[in-house]
Amino acid sequence: MKILENLTKINRRYIFLLVALAVIFPLVIPMKLPTIPGKYTIKLYDFIDQIPPQSQPILIAADYSPSMMPELQPMLEAVIRHCFAKGIRIVVLTLDPNGAVLSETALQKIAPEYGAVNGRDYAFLGFKPGSSIVMMSIGENFRQAFPTDFYGTPLDSLPMMNGIRNYADVPLVLSIAGSAITQGWINYAHTRYHANVGAGCTAVSTADYYPFLQAGQLVGLLNGMKGASEYEYLNKKNGYSSAAPVATKGMNAVSIVHLLLMLFIILGNIGYLVTRHNQSKK
Amino acid sequence: MKRQIPLIIVLTLGIFFFIQFFVPSQVSTNIYQITLQWTIVISAFAIVLAVGSLFNHHMLKIKRRKPHWWNSIVTLAALVVMALLGILGRWRGLEKLGDLYHTLFLYVQAPMDSAMFAILAFYMASAAYRAFRARSQEAALLLISGFIVMLGVIPFGSMIWSRIPDIAEWILMVPNMAAKRGILFGVGLGMTATSLKIILGIERSWLGGGGK
């Protein structure tokens, strides 16, 4: 019984060590855990998949900083791969000052894989401060918030921006964010300007977006590392990408850490219940 | 006058833009577009203020030799170096500086930032082990639902029983959503009430002085 009581007193250093091992092992030793795409990942994937090639571009807002990069960067890369493979044009911008380098890096890495050309297949607008104001400005005209792209080229000089004025000319606004900024896109781009909005968020903030999903204000949702791995799986299944599945590898580590966490909670509760039972006896 | 002029501006513009939303005439749309441009410019000044404030804070720490003041030197040096590389790197002929900015961002700032976030996993594991206890019926209910949701989002959930992900989704979509909606309604009503109080000049704490 003393052993069971001691279950409440495991030194946190051992917990840290086990968590570290639970993260490292699945990343080093490949595991083949199944990926079953969720309903909202499939909805977003299908929505993008049904956009005709070379039609109006989709707008991707990569509003996150490096702290959320492990979850959100694979998501952005998977979506870009899907679009380039299908010939869907994209406009990428960011409302987070740290997001510019991250999204530009993703574009520069993936564009050569598909032979995508800046200005023809994609446009990178960079960062602009004043999030909600920028969202409202785009509702009037892209050029109001972004007269030029990130490299200083006027938007009117980019062939793919011909005839693209505001939200009415983009079939989807996809907000990939690690903060509540997605709610801004819902409030302004969807509610005020009636744009279709999709989202990708960190796992901890997923629950915040369920009300918007149920109300039809979001066309789909990518839920953290899980959503990114599901998108990678769908890309691979449809032959759109042969890139290494970064999120799928990460999801293996997340799964093992979840199991470890549950094990610790069970142990802690066994110890707590035994201690309480013993105390009530006394 | 120092307080009355801002109050008049807020009252006038607050009422104007409220009406403008419902009157989509060419004149009102033009005014709206010009105001949006102005607001973007004003937003950019927030960055200038932030940099100024950061600079002052750390300069003061260095001058007064406060504990760990040398960290402030590193912060200011990083601020100046990154800003210079970022600005100069966009000029023709100085692209190498831009590449250096990219390298420093991706291989110094990004790993440090990600590591800070990753440390959370360790603390969460330790905190969940210590605090997630079935002390009461409500706590036990929370524990069980937390367990199901955790299992439901990983592949092991469906490997144990194919319905676990569905149950996890039900928990998120029904009880969680009921609570969430209540909170969102409260936040929405609170925002509306505060906006009205600011427009009508009842709430004045934004003028400084803690609402006195």
Tens digits of per-residue pLDDT, A24-37? 998 898 888 888 89
pLDDT at A207: 87
Compute the average pLDDT of residues B65-72.
93
- Could you tell me if A91 and A60 are in contact, meaning their C-beta atoms sit under 8 angstroms apart? yes
Q: Is the pLDDT of residue B210 over 60?
A: no
Compute the average pLDDT of residues B161-174.
90
Closest residue of B to A226, CA-based?
Answer: B153
Q: Compute the nearest-CA separation of A52 from chain B (Å).
A: 32
Interface test with A, best of B122, B123, B167 (most A CBs within 10 A): B122
Q: Which of A184, A136, A149, A166 is nearest to B36 (CA)?
A: A136
In this complex, do A102 and B110 lie within 8 Å of one another by their Cβ atoms?
yes
- Could you tell me if A71 and A203 are in contact, meaning their C-beta atoms sit under 8 angstroms apart? yes
pLDDT at B107: 92
pTM, two decimal places = 0.88
Interface test with B, best of A225, A248, A251, A261 (most B CBs within 10 A): A261
**Residue spans of beta strands (DSSP E) within chain A:** 58-63, 90-94, 122-127, 173-177, 197-201, 221-223
All residues of chain A having their beta carbon less than 8 Å from the beta carbon of residue B40 are 128-130, 133-134, 137, 145
Q: pLDDT below 50 — which residues of chain A?
A: none
pLDDT at B209: 64
Closest residue of B to A269, CA-based?
Answer: B133
Give percent above pLDDT 70 in chain B: 98
Q: Looking at the complex, does the CB of residue A36 fall below 8 Å from at least one CB of chain B?
A: yes
**Torsional sign, CA A104, A203, A83, A243:** positive
> Rounded to whole angstroms, how far apart are CA atoms A229 and A74?
8
In this complex, do A105 and B106 lie within 8 Å of one another by their Cβ atoms?
yes
Q: Is the pLDDT of residue B212 over 70?
A: no
Nearest CB neighbour to B114, from listed A69, A133, A207: A69
pLDDT 10s digits, B70-83:
999 999 999 999 99
In this complex, do A69 and B110 lie within 8 Å of one another by their Cβ atoms?
yes
In this complex, do A23 and B46 lie within 8 Å of one another by their Cβ atoms?
no
DSSP string, A167-235: GGG-S-EEEEESSTHHHHIIIIIIIIT---EEEEE-GGGGGGGHHHHHTTSSS-EEEHHHHHHHHHHHH
For the CA atoms of A52, A57, A63, A69, what is the dihedral angle to 10 degrees? Answer: 50
pLDDT at A1: 67
Q: Which of A220, A221, A241 is nearest to A232 (CA)?
A: A241
Q: Compute the nearest-CA separation of B211 from chain A (Å).
A: 26
